[in-house]
Chain A
Protein backbone atom coordinates (compact mmCIF):
# COMPACT_ATOMS: atom_id res chain seq x y z
CA UNK A 1 0.00 0.00 0.00
CA UNK A 2 1.24 3.51 -0.75
CA UNK A 3 0.00 6.32 1.51
CA UNK A 4 0.81 9.94 0.82
CA UNK A 5 0.42 11.64 4.19
CA UNK A 6 2.38 14.84 3.66
CA UNK A 7 -0.26 17.15 2.22
CA UNK A 8 0.98 20.08 4.31
CA UNK A 9 4.24 19.90 2.34
CA UNK A 10 2.42 19.84 -0.95
CA UNK A 11 -0.58 18.21 -2.61
CA UNK A 12 -1.18 16.36 -5.84
CA UNK A 13 -2.53 18.56 -8.63
CA UNK A 14 -6.21 17.70 -9.08
CA UNK A 15 -7.80 16.75 -12.39
CA UNK A 16 -9.88 19.92 -12.18
CA UNK A 17 -6.75 22.06 -11.82
CA UNK A 18 -4.93 20.23 -14.58
CA UNK A 19 -7.88 20.61 -16.95
CA UNK A 20 -7.87 24.34 -16.31
CA UNK A 21 -4.12 24.57 -16.89
CA UNK A 22 -3.78 22.63 -20.11
CA UNK A 23 -5.51 25.10 -22.48
CA UNK A 24 -3.14 27.85 -21.28
CA UNK A 25 -0.26 25.69 -22.45
CA UNK A 26 -1.85 24.76 -25.77
CA UNK A 27 -4.35 26.83 -27.76
CA UNK A 28 -4.68 29.74 -25.32
CA UNK A 29 -1.02 30.66 -25.05
CA UNK A 30 -1.39 34.39 -25.55
CA UNK A 31 0.06 37.08 -23.33
CA UNK A 32 -2.76 38.78 -21.39
CA UNK A 33 -1.16 42.17 -22.08
CA UNK A 34 -1.51 41.74 -25.87
CA UNK A 35 -4.36 43.44 -27.69
CA UNK A 36 -5.19 40.78 -30.29
CA UNK A 37 -7.75 38.07 -29.73
CA UNK A 38 -5.55 35.31 -28.35
CA UNK A 39 -4.05 37.74 -25.85
CA UNK A 40 -7.45 39.04 -24.83
CA UNK A 41 -8.68 35.50 -24.25
CA UNK A 42 -5.82 35.05 -21.84
CA UNK A 43 -6.74 38.37 -20.19
CA UNK A 44 -10.28 37.09 -19.73
CA UNK A 45 -9.03 33.89 -18.10
CA UNK A 46 -6.84 35.97 -15.81
CA UNK A 47 -9.79 38.13 -14.80
CA UNK A 48 -11.92 35.04 -14.18
CA UNK A 49 -9.25 33.50 -11.99
CA UNK A 50 -8.96 36.72 -10.02
CA UNK A 51 -12.68 36.82 -9.44
CA UNK A 52 -12.67 33.25 -8.08
CA UNK A 53 -10.23 34.25 -5.34
CA UNK A 54 -12.12 37.47 -4.68
CA UNK A 55 -15.40 35.59 -4.38
CA UNK A 56 -14.30 32.91 -1.94
CA UNK A 57 -12.22 35.25 0.21
CA UNK A 58 -15.05 37.83 0.27
CA UNK A 59 -12.77 40.39 -1.32
CA UNK A 60 -12.86 42.58 -4.45
CA UNK A 61 -10.99 41.61 -7.60
CA UNK A 62 -8.76 44.69 -7.35
CA UNK A 63 -7.54 43.42 -4.00
CA UNK A 64 -6.07 40.20 -5.43
CA UNK A 65 -2.44 40.06 -6.61
CA UNK A 66 -0.96 36.90 -8.06
CA UNK A 67 2.54 36.01 -6.88
CA UNK A 68 5.03 33.19 -7.28
CA UNK A 69 3.77 31.51 -4.12
CA UNK A 70 3.13 31.84 -0.42
CA UNK A 71 6.67 32.98 0.33
CA UNK A 72 6.52 35.92 -2.05
CA UNK A 73 3.08 36.94 -0.79
CA UNK A 74 4.38 36.89 2.82
CA UNK A 75 7.44 38.92 1.84
CA UNK A 76 5.41 41.54 0.02
CA UNK A 77 2.71 41.81 2.69
CA UNK A 78 5.20 42.46 5.47
CA UNK A 79 7.45 44.75 3.46
CA UNK A 80 4.45 46.81 2.29
CA UNK A 81 2.95 47.20 5.76
CA UNK A 82 6.38 48.14 7.08
CA UNK A 83 6.85 50.85 4.45
CA UNK A 84 3.39 52.28 5.23
CA UNK A 85 4.20 52.30 8.94
CA UNK A 86 7.63 53.82 8.45
CA UNK A 87 6.07 56.83 6.72
CA UNK A 88 4.17 57.58 9.92
CA UNK A 89 7.16 56.79 12.11
CA UNK A 90 5.67 53.47 13.19
CA UNK A 91 8.32 50.80 13.11
CA UNK A 92 7.11 48.07 15.46
CA UNK A 93 5.80 44.73 14.20
CA UNK A 94 4.10 41.98 16.19
CA UNK A 95 4.16 38.35 15.11
CA UNK A 96 4.54 34.92 16.72
CA UNK A 97 7.38 32.52 17.42
CA UNK A 98 5.93 29.75 15.30
CA UNK A 99 5.41 31.48 11.97
CA UNK A 100 6.73 29.95 8.76
CA UNK A 101 10.26 30.99 7.81
CA UNK A 102 8.79 33.03 4.94
CA UNK A 103 7.46 35.34 7.66
CA UNK A 104 10.18 34.97 10.30
CA UNK A 105 13.05 35.58 7.91
CA UNK A 106 11.27 38.56 6.36
CA UNK A 107 10.84 39.96 9.87
CA UNK A 108 14.57 39.51 10.45
CA UNK A 109 15.11 41.57 7.34
CA UNK A 110 12.76 44.24 8.69
CA UNK A 111 14.87 44.34 11.84
CA UNK A 112 17.92 45.02 9.71
CA UNK A 113 15.90 47.86 8.15
CA UNK A 114 15.43 49.39 11.60
CA UNK A 115 12.11 47.84 12.66
CA UNK A 116 11.52 46.38 16.08
CA UNK A 117 9.83 42.98 16.13
CA UNK A 118 7.94 41.38 19.02
CA UNK A 119 7.35 37.64 18.65
CA UNK A 120 4.55 36.36 20.84
CA UNK A 121 5.10 33.24 22.93
CA UNK A 122 3.13 30.15 22.00
CA UNK A 123 0.83 28.74 24.67
CA UNK A 124 0.96 25.01 25.45
CA UNK A 125 -1.99 24.25 23.13
CA UNK A 126 -0.42 26.01 20.15
CA UNK A 127 -3.09 28.71 19.93
CA UNK A 128 -2.16 32.34 20.59
CA UNK A 129 -4.85 34.61 22.00
CA UNK A 130 -6.23 37.92 20.85
CA UNK A 131 -5.48 39.18 24.36
CA UNK A 132 -1.76 38.44 23.83
CA UNK A 133 -1.90 40.53 20.68
CA UNK A 134 -3.84 43.34 22.37
CA UNK A 135 -1.28 43.57 25.17
CA UNK A 136 1.63 43.70 22.71
CA UNK A 137 0.24 46.56 20.62
CA UNK A 138 2.06 49.87 21.14
CA UNK A 139 1.46 53.34 19.72
CA UNK A 140 4.19 52.70 17.16
CA UNK A 141 2.95 49.27 16.05
CA UNK A 142 2.34 49.20 12.29
CA UNK A 143 1.62 45.52 11.67
CA UNK A 144 0.39 42.35 13.34
CA UNK A 145 1.15 39.15 11.43
CA UNK A 146 -0.33 35.92 12.80
CA UNK A 147 -0.68 32.77 10.73
CA UNK A 148 -4.17 31.38 10.15
CA UNK A 149 -3.13 27.80 10.83
CA UNK A 150 0.30 26.46 11.72
CA UNK A 151 1.99 24.33 9.07
CA UNK A 152 3.51 21.82 11.48
CA UNK A 153 1.04 21.31 14.29
CA UNK A 154 -2.05 22.45 12.41
CA UNK A 155 -3.43 24.66 15.18
CA UNK A 156 -5.95 27.26 14.02
CA UNK A 157 -5.55 30.75 15.44
CA UNK A 158 -8.46 33.01 16.51
CA UNK A 159 -8.12 35.15 13.40
CA UNK A 160 -11.45 36.97 13.64
CA UNK A 161 -10.74 37.98 17.25
CA UNK A 162 -7.22 39.12 16.43
CA UNK A 163 -8.57 40.99 13.42
CA UNK A 164 -11.06 42.81 15.63
CA UNK A 165 -8.33 43.80 18.09
CA UNK A 166 -6.17 45.15 15.24
CA UNK A 167 -9.06 47.01 13.63
CA UNK A 168 -9.89 48.66 16.92
CA UNK A 169 -6.27 49.68 17.45
CA UNK A 170 -5.89 50.87 13.86
CA UNK A 171 -3.03 48.46 13.15
CA UNK A 172 -2.70 46.55 9.87
CA UNK A 173 -3.34 42.81 10.20
CA UNK A 174 -1.66 40.23 7.96
CA UNK A 175 -2.33 36.51 8.12
CA UNK A 176 -0.32 33.77 6.42
CA UNK A 177 -3.24 31.56 5.39
CA UNK A 178 -1.15 29.18 3.29
CA UNK A 179 -2.25 26.13 5.30
CA UNK A 180 -5.82 27.31 5.84
CA UNK A 181 -6.90 28.46 2.39
CA UNK A 182 -9.19 25.92 0.76
CA UNK A 183 -9.49 24.05 4.05
CA UNK A 184 -11.15 26.55 6.40
CA UNK A 185 -13.68 29.30 5.66
CA UNK A 186 -12.04 32.68 5.17
CA UNK A 187 -13.90 35.98 5.10
CA UNK A 188 -11.47 38.89 4.96
CA UNK A 189 -14.21 41.39 5.77
CA UNK A 190 -15.81 39.63 8.72
CA UNK A 191 -12.37 38.68 10.07
CA UNK A 192 -10.91 42.19 9.62
CA UNK A 193 -7.98 40.88 7.59
CA UNK A 194 -6.01 43.59 5.77
CA UNK A 195 -3.41 41.38 4.10
CA UNK A 196 -3.50 37.64 3.46
CA UNK A 197 -1.16 35.17 1.78
CA UNK A 198 -2.07 31.84 0.24
CA UNK A 199 -0.40 29.26 -1.95
CA UNK A 200 -2.03 27.06 -4.60
CA UNK A 201 -0.02 23.89 -4.07
CA UNK A 202 -1.53 23.33 -0.63
CA UNK A 203 -5.01 22.75 -2.06
CA UNK A 204 -4.32 20.63 -5.17
CA UNK A 205 -3.23 23.52 -7.36
CA UNK A 206 0.21 23.81 -8.97
CA UNK A 207 3.43 24.87 -7.23
CA UNK A 208 4.82 28.35 -7.78
CA UNK A 209 1.52 30.25 -7.61
CA UNK A 210 0.30 32.32 -4.72
CA UNK A 211 -2.08 35.12 -3.91
CA UNK A 212 -1.62 38.26 -1.91
CA UNK A 213 -4.89 39.82 -0.83
CA UNK A 214 -4.43 43.47 0.18
CA UNK A 215 -7.41 45.52 1.31
CA UNK A 216 -8.24 48.42 -1.00
CA UNK A 217 -6.22 51.48 -0.10
CA UNK A 218 -3.22 49.57 1.21
CA UNK A 219 -0.29 50.59 -1.01
CA UNK A 220 1.83 47.61 -1.92
CA UNK A 221 5.60 47.88 -2.20
CA UNK A 222 7.01 45.94 -5.13
CA UNK A 223 9.19 42.96 -4.46
CA UNK A 224 9.67 42.50 -8.21
CA UNK A 225 10.08 45.58 -10.39
CA UNK A 226 9.43 45.62 -14.11
CA UNK A 227 6.33 45.68 -16.29
CA UNK A 228 2.89 46.93 -15.33
CA UNK A 229 1.31 43.54 -14.64
CA UNK A 230 -0.82 43.15 -11.51
CA UNK A 231 -1.62 46.88 -11.43
CA UNK A 232 2.10 47.58 -11.43
CA UNK A 233 2.53 45.86 -8.08
CA UNK A 234 4.10 42.64 -9.26
CA UNK A 235 6.01 42.64 -12.52
CA UNK A 236 6.41 39.70 -14.85
CA UNK A 237 4.23 38.09 -17.54
CA UNK A 238 1.52 36.24 -15.67
CA UNK A 239 1.96 32.52 -14.97
CA UNK A 240 -1.26 31.74 -16.81
CA UNK A 241 -1.32 27.92 -16.47
CA UNK A 242 -0.46 28.28 -12.80
CA UNK A 243 -3.00 30.99 -12.08
CA UNK A 244 -5.84 29.20 -13.91
CA UNK A 245 -4.98 25.92 -12.16
CA UNK A 246 -4.86 27.70 -8.82
CA UNK A 247 -8.28 29.27 -9.30
CA UNK A 248 -9.90 26.01 -10.40
CA UNK A 249 -8.38 24.20 -7.44
CA UNK A 250 -9.44 26.93 -5.02
CA UNK A 251 -13.03 26.92 -6.23
CA UNK A 252 -13.20 23.16 -5.93
CA UNK A 253 -11.65 23.18 -2.45
CA UNK A 254 -14.07 25.87 -1.24
CA UNK A 255 -17.11 24.13 -2.74
CA UNK A 256 -16.21 20.85 -1.03
CA UNK A 257 -14.81 22.27 2.18
CA UNK A 258 -17.50 20.97 4.55
CA UNK A 259 -17.62 17.55 3.00
CA UNK A 260 -13.82 17.25 3.02
CA UNK A 261 -13.68 18.25 6.68
CA UNK A 262 -16.42 15.76 7.54
CA UNK A 263 -14.31 13.03 5.94
CA UNK A 264 -11.00 14.12 7.44
CA UNK A 265 -11.87 14.95 11.03
CA UNK A 266 -12.78 11.37 12.01
CA UNK A 267 -9.59 10.05 10.37
CA UNK A 268 -7.51 12.70 12.13
CA UNK A 269 -9.12 12.02 15.48
CA UNK A 270 -8.71 8.28 15.18
CA UNK A 271 -5.02 8.66 14.37
CA UNK A 272 -4.50 11.11 17.23
CA UNK A 273 -6.35 8.89 19.70
CA UNK A 274 -4.69 5.64 18.70
CA UNK A 275 -1.17 6.99 18.26
CA UNK A 276 -1.28 8.80 21.59
CA UNK A 277 -1.79 5.38 23.20
CA UNK A 278 1.84 4.60 22.36
CA UNK A 279 3.58 5.02 25.74
CA UNK A 280 5.56 8.25 26.23
CA UNK A 281 4.01 10.02 23.30
CA UNK A 282 2.36 13.42 23.26
CA UNK A 283 0.03 15.20 20.86
CA UNK A 284 1.37 18.54 19.62
CA UNK A 285 -1.24 21.27 19.51
CA UNK A 286 -4.87 21.61 20.45
CA UNK A 287 -6.93 18.55 19.52
CA UNK A 288 -9.97 20.52 18.40
CA UNK A 289 -8.67 23.86 17.15
CA UNK A 290 -6.66 22.21 14.41
CA UNK A 291 -6.77 21.67 10.66
CA UNK A 292 -9.02 18.76 9.66
CA UNK A 293 -6.13 16.76 8.22
CA UNK A 294 -3.29 17.45 10.66
CA UNK A 295 -1.87 14.81 13.00
CA UNK A 296 1.29 15.66 14.94
CA UNK A 297 2.83 13.83 17.86
CA UNK A 298 6.20 13.36 19.55
CA UNK A 299 7.48 9.94 20.56
CA UNK A 300 10.14 10.01 23.23
CA UNK A 301 13.31 8.02 22.54
CA UNK A 302 12.78 8.04 18.77
CA UNK A 303 14.57 10.19 16.21
CA UNK A 304 12.33 11.60 13.50
CA UNK A 305 14.36 10.97 10.38
CA UNK A 306 14.83 7.27 11.17
CA UNK A 307 11.10 7.01 11.73
CA UNK A 308 10.44 8.66 8.34
CA UNK A 309 12.86 6.35 6.52
CA UNK A 310 11.22 3.27 8.02
CA UNK A 311 7.76 4.61 7.18
CA UNK A 312 8.95 5.27 3.64
CA UNK A 313 10.11 1.67 3.43
CA UNK A 314 6.52 0.68 4.27
CA UNK A 315 5.15 3.02 1.60
CA UNK A 316 4.11 5.88 3.89
CA UNK A 317 5.25 9.44 3.11
CA UNK A 318 5.27 11.65 6.21
CA UNK A 319 7.35 14.40 7.75
CA UNK A 320 9.10 15.33 10.99
CA UNK A 321 10.53 18.34 12.76
CA UNK A 322 13.72 16.60 13.87
CA UNK A 323 17.05 18.37 13.46
CA UNK A 324 18.27 15.79 10.99
CA UNK A 325 15.35 16.44 8.67
CA UNK A 326 15.69 20.22 8.92
CA UNK A 327 19.43 20.07 8.20
CA UNK A 328 20.29 22.12 11.26
CA UNK A 329 21.36 21.18 14.75
CA UNK A 330 18.07 22.26 16.28
CA UNK A 331 14.72 20.58 15.88
CA UNK A 332 11.74 22.56 14.57
CA UNK A 333 11.30 26.06 16.00
CA UNK A 334 7.57 25.35 16.19
CA UNK A 335 7.96 22.44 18.59
CA UNK A 336 10.52 24.33 20.66
CA UNK A 337 8.14 27.31 20.81
CA UNK A 338 5.48 24.92 22.05
CA UNK A 339 7.79 24.08 24.94
CA UNK A 340 8.88 20.62 23.86
CA UNK A 341 12.40 19.82 25.12
CA UNK A 342 14.98 19.25 22.35
CA UNK A 343 15.16 15.53 23.15
CA UNK A 344 11.42 15.17 22.64
CA UNK A 345 11.14 17.48 19.64
CA UNK A 346 13.59 15.27 17.69
CA UNK A 347 10.97 12.52 17.80
CA UNK A 348 8.13 14.35 16.11
CA UNK A 349 5.94 12.96 13.38
CA UNK A 350 3.56 14.94 11.17
CA UNK A 351 0.91 13.16 9.12
CA UNK A 352 -1.20 15.47 6.97
CA UNK A 353 -4.14 13.97 5.15
CA UNK A 354 -6.34 15.17 2.33
CA UNK A 355 -9.75 14.12 1.06
CA UNK A 356 -8.36 11.29 -1.05
CA UNK A 357 -6.84 9.54 1.96
CA UNK A 358 -9.02 6.68 3.16
CA UNK A 359 -9.92 4.98 6.44
CA UNK A 360 -7.98 1.92 5.21
CA UNK A 361 -4.89 4.08 4.82
CA UNK A 362 -5.27 5.42 8.35
CA UNK A 363 -5.59 1.84 9.62
CA UNK A 364 -2.51 0.86 7.67
CA UNK A 365 -0.53 3.68 9.32
CA UNK A 366 -1.81 2.49 12.70
CA UNK A 367 -0.75 -1.07 11.92
CA UNK A 368 2.80 -0.04 11.01
CA UNK A 369 3.81 2.85 13.25
CA UNK A 370 3.83 1.29 16.75
CA UNK A 371 6.22 -1.40 15.51
CA UNK A 372 8.58 1.22 14.10
CA UNK A 373 8.57 3.18 17.36
CA UNK A 374 9.31 0.00 19.34
CA UNK A 375 12.08 -1.03 16.97
CA UNK A 376 13.85 2.33 17.19
CA UNK A 377 13.43 2.50 20.96
CA UNK A 378 14.97 -0.97 21.20
CA UNK A 379 17.96 0.16 19.21
CA UNK A 380 18.43 3.31 21.26
CA UNK A 381 20.97 3.43 24.10
CA UNK A 382 18.71 5.92 25.88
CA UNK A 383 15.47 4.00 25.99
CA UNK A 384 16.86 1.33 28.29
CA UNK A 385 17.96 4.00 30.75
CA UNK A 386 14.63 5.77 30.54
CA UNK A 387 12.77 2.55 31.21
CA UNK A 388 15.02 1.64 34.14
CA UNK A 389 14.83 5.02 35.81
CA UNK A 390 18.44 5.99 35.09
CA UNK A 391 17.12 8.86 33.03
CA UNK A 392 13.89 10.73 33.59
CA UNK A 393 11.08 10.44 31.09
CA UNK A 394 10.13 13.88 29.84
CA UNK A 395 6.76 12.90 28.46
Chain B
Protein backbone atom coordinates (compact mmCIF):
# COMPACT_ATOMS: atom_id res chain seq x y z
CA UNK B 1 0.00 0.00 0.00
CA UNK B 2 1.28 3.43 -0.87
CA UNK B 3 1.40 6.16 1.74
CA UNK B 4 -0.71 8.46 -0.43
CA UNK B 5 -3.56 8.00 -2.90
CA UNK B 6 -2.90 8.41 -6.62
CA UNK B 7 -4.79 11.67 -6.50
CA UNK B 8 -2.50 13.05 -3.79
CA UNK B 9 0.58 11.96 -5.70
CA UNK B 10 -0.76 13.51 -8.90
CA UNK B 11 -1.26 16.88 -7.18
CA UNK B 12 2.07 16.60 -5.39
CA UNK B 13 3.99 15.75 -8.54
CA UNK B 14 2.09 18.13 -10.80
CA UNK B 15 0.85 20.92 -8.55
CA UNK B 16 -1.75 23.17 -10.20
CA UNK B 17 -1.63 26.96 -9.92
CA UNK B 18 1.72 27.06 -8.18
CA UNK B 19 3.64 30.34 -8.05
CA UNK B 20 3.56 33.90 -6.91
CA UNK B 21 0.91 36.45 -7.96
CA UNK B 22 2.18 40.01 -8.05
CA UNK B 23 -1.17 41.74 -8.48
CA UNK B 24 -3.21 39.64 -6.04
CA UNK B 25 -6.35 41.14 -4.51
CA UNK B 26 -5.99 39.00 -1.41
CA UNK B 27 -3.12 37.06 0.16
CA UNK B 28 -3.48 34.59 3.00
CA UNK B 29 -0.65 32.83 4.81
CA UNK B 30 -1.11 30.16 7.47
CA UNK B 31 1.09 27.72 9.36
CA UNK B 32 4.66 28.31 10.39
CA UNK B 33 8.06 26.95 9.55
CA UNK B 34 8.56 25.69 13.09
CA UNK B 35 5.73 23.19 12.60
CA UNK B 36 6.95 22.31 9.14
CA UNK B 37 4.13 23.61 6.95
CA UNK B 38 3.42 27.10 5.54
CA UNK B 39 0.82 27.83 2.90
CA UNK B 40 0.38 31.11 1.10
CA UNK B 41 -2.66 31.57 -1.13
CA UNK B 42 -3.09 34.46 -3.61
CA UNK B 43 -6.50 35.32 -5.09
CA UNK B 44 -7.59 37.63 -7.88
CA UNK B 45 -11.22 38.73 -7.63
CA UNK B 46 -13.51 39.90 -10.41
CA UNK B 47 -15.18 42.99 -8.85
CA UNK B 48 -18.35 42.79 -10.94
CA UNK B 49 -19.20 39.20 -10.28
CA UNK B 50 -17.35 38.76 -6.96
CA UNK B 51 -15.84 35.57 -8.26
CA UNK B 52 -12.31 34.29 -7.88
CA UNK B 53 -10.90 34.75 -11.34
CA UNK B 54 -7.42 33.47 -10.55
CA UNK B 55 -5.62 31.77 -7.69
CA UNK B 56 -2.05 30.78 -6.99
CA UNK B 57 -0.19 29.24 -4.08
CA UNK B 58 3.24 28.84 -2.55
CA UNK B 59 3.76 26.10 0.00
CA UNK B 60 6.58 24.92 2.22
CA UNK B 61 5.63 21.53 3.56
CA UNK B 62 5.18 17.83 3.14
CA UNK B 63 3.56 15.97 0.27
CA UNK B 64 0.06 16.34 1.61
CA UNK B 65 0.56 20.05 2.30
CA UNK B 66 1.52 20.61 -1.33
CA UNK B 67 -1.26 18.36 -2.66
CA UNK B 68 -3.96 19.98 -0.53
CA UNK B 69 -2.84 23.47 -1.58
CA UNK B 70 -2.97 22.42 -5.20
CA UNK B 71 -6.40 20.84 -5.11
CA UNK B 72 -7.82 23.69 -3.00
CA UNK B 73 -6.84 26.18 -5.70
CA UNK B 74 -8.67 24.08 -8.28
CA UNK B 75 -11.72 23.85 -6.06
CA UNK B 76 -12.12 27.61 -5.63
CA UNK B 77 -10.99 28.91 -9.01
CA UNK B 78 -13.90 30.49 -10.89
CA UNK B 79 -16.16 30.21 -7.84
CA UNK B 80 -17.99 33.11 -6.18
CA UNK B 81 -15.97 34.37 -3.22
CA UNK B 82 -18.80 33.51 -0.82
CA UNK B 83 -18.79 29.96 -2.04
CA UNK B 84 -15.02 29.62 -1.76
CA UNK B 85 -15.43 30.42 1.90
CA UNK B 86 -17.43 27.25 2.32
CA UNK B 87 -14.50 25.09 1.27
CA UNK B 88 -14.00 22.65 4.13
CA UNK B 89 -11.01 20.54 4.98
CA UNK B 90 -13.28 17.50 4.71
CA UNK B 91 -14.13 18.37 1.11
CA UNK B 92 -10.43 18.79 0.35
CA UNK B 93 -9.61 15.40 1.84
CA UNK B 94 -12.45 13.74 -0.04
CA UNK B 95 -11.37 15.30 -3.32
CA UNK B 96 -7.93 13.78 -2.74
CA UNK B 97 -9.42 10.32 -2.07
CA UNK B 98 -8.34 10.55 1.55
CA UNK B 99 -5.21 11.33 3.57
CA UNK B 100 -3.50 9.37 6.35
CA UNK B 101 -4.98 10.40 9.72
CA UNK B 102 -1.82 12.09 10.94
CA UNK B 103 -1.76 14.23 7.80
CA UNK B 104 -5.19 15.76 8.29
CA UNK B 105 -3.77 18.96 9.72
CA UNK B 106 -2.42 19.80 6.28
CA UNK B 107 -5.94 19.85 4.85
CA UNK B 108 -6.99 22.18 7.66
CA UNK B 109 -4.25 24.53 6.56
CA UNK B 110 -5.65 24.62 3.01
CA UNK B 111 -9.10 25.62 4.22
CA UNK B 112 -7.59 28.29 6.42
CA UNK B 113 -5.30 29.64 3.72
CA UNK B 114 -8.34 30.24 1.48
CA UNK B 115 -10.20 31.96 4.33
CA UNK B 116 -7.17 34.09 5.14
CA UNK B 117 -6.85 35.21 1.51
CA UNK B 118 -10.53 36.17 1.35
CA UNK B 119 -10.30 38.01 4.64
CA UNK B 120 -7.33 39.95 3.30
CA UNK B 121 -9.35 40.84 0.21
CA UNK B 122 -12.32 41.96 2.34
CA UNK B 123 -10.08 44.01 4.62
CA UNK B 124 -8.38 45.77 1.71
CA UNK B 125 -11.74 46.62 0.17
CA UNK B 126 -13.64 47.61 3.30
CA UNK B 127 -16.07 44.74 2.96
CA UNK B 128 -17.62 43.69 6.26
CA UNK B 129 -17.61 40.03 7.26
CA UNK B 130 -18.92 37.85 10.03
CA UNK B 131 -17.23 36.09 12.90
CA UNK B 132 -16.60 32.95 10.92
CA UNK B 133 -13.72 34.71 9.17
CA UNK B 134 -12.26 36.29 12.28
CA UNK B 135 -9.99 33.45 13.12
CA UNK B 136 -6.46 33.55 14.25
CA UNK B 137 -3.77 31.13 15.20
CA UNK B 138 -4.94 30.86 18.77
CA UNK B 139 -8.20 29.33 17.68
CA UNK B 140 -6.69 27.06 15.10
CA UNK B 141 -6.80 23.49 16.26
CA UNK B 142 -4.69 22.09 13.46
CA UNK B 143 -1.66 21.51 15.64
CA UNK B 144 -3.64 19.77 18.41
CA UNK B 145 -5.39 17.55 15.91
CA UNK B 146 -2.08 16.66 14.37
CA UNK B 147 -0.61 15.77 17.71
CA UNK B 148 -3.52 13.64 18.87
CA UNK B 149 -3.53 11.85 15.54
CA UNK B 150 0.19 11.22 15.91
CA UNK B 151 -0.35 9.85 19.40
CA UNK B 152 -3.16 7.63 18.19
CA UNK B 153 -0.81 6.00 15.70
A interface list, Cβ under 8 A from B: 301-306, 309, 313, 322-325, 327-329, 331, 342-343, 346, 376, 379-384
Contacts and interface: CB of A to CB of B under 8 A. Distances in A.
B13 interface: yes
Given A313-B13, A324-B103, 6 more contacts: A303-B65, A305-B62, A309-B63, A324-B63, A329-B150, A379-B58
Contact of A380 (B9, B34, B35, B60): B60
Given A324-B36, A329-B143, A382-B38, A301 B60 contact: yes
A288 to B, nearest CB: 31
Contacts of A384: 20, 58
6 contacts: A323-B35, A329-B36, A329-B147, A342-B35, A379-B66, A381-B58
A383 B20 CA distance: 12
B127 interface: no
B102 A327 contact: yes
Interface residues on B, range: 20 to 34
B29 interface: yes
A86 to B, nearest CB: 30
Contact of B36 (A323, A379, A383): A323
A306 B103 CA distance: 13
A379 B59 contact: yes
A346 to B, nearest CB: 4
A293 B26 CA distance: 49
Interface of B: 9, 12-13, 15, 18, 20, 29, 33-40, 58-66, 102-103, 143, 146-147, 150, 153
Chain A interface SS verdict (over half): helix
Interchain residue pairs A-B with the least CB separation, the first 8: A324-B62, A381-B40, A381-B58, A305-B62, A380-B60, A343-B33, A323-B36, A342-B34
A327 B38 contact: no
B35 A303 contact: no
A381 B35 CA distance: 15
Contacts of B146: 329
Contacts of A302: 60
Contact of B38 (A309, A324, A331, A381): A381
B66 A306 contact: yes
B150 A327 contact: yes
Given A303-B61, A342-B34, A381-B29, A309 B147 contact: no
